[in-house]
Amino acid sequence: MPEQPGYPVFTSSSSDLALRVLRLEQQLDSYQRLHAEELADLRRALAQLKEEVLALAPHHAVERPED
């Protein structure tokens, strides 16, 4: 294929490097999704625990210490 202006010419080393970049980018995206899901699970668990704590608390307002 003849070289066209404006298009990069890939050699075996540059295509290998491009493939490594692509793989690393995909791995990063996978980790980001996984951790987002784990964080969402932790937030749900925390919200549930807070609800349980509030259910055990007396039904009157909690007094805050004065500044």
pLDDT by position in tens, the chain (length 67): 455 677 666 677 888 999 999 999 999 999 999 999 999 999 999 999 999 999 998 765 555 666 5
Give the per-residue pLDDT at 3: 58
Give the per-residue pLDDT at 14: 85
Give the per-residue pLDDT at 4: 62
Give the per-residue pLDDT at 53: 93
Question: For residues 42 and 49, is the Cβ–Cβ distance under 8 A?
Answer: no
Give the per-residue pLDDT at 6: 73
Q: Taking the domains of the chain in order of start, what are their residue ranges?
A: 12-56
CA atoms within 13 A on the CB side of 55: 6
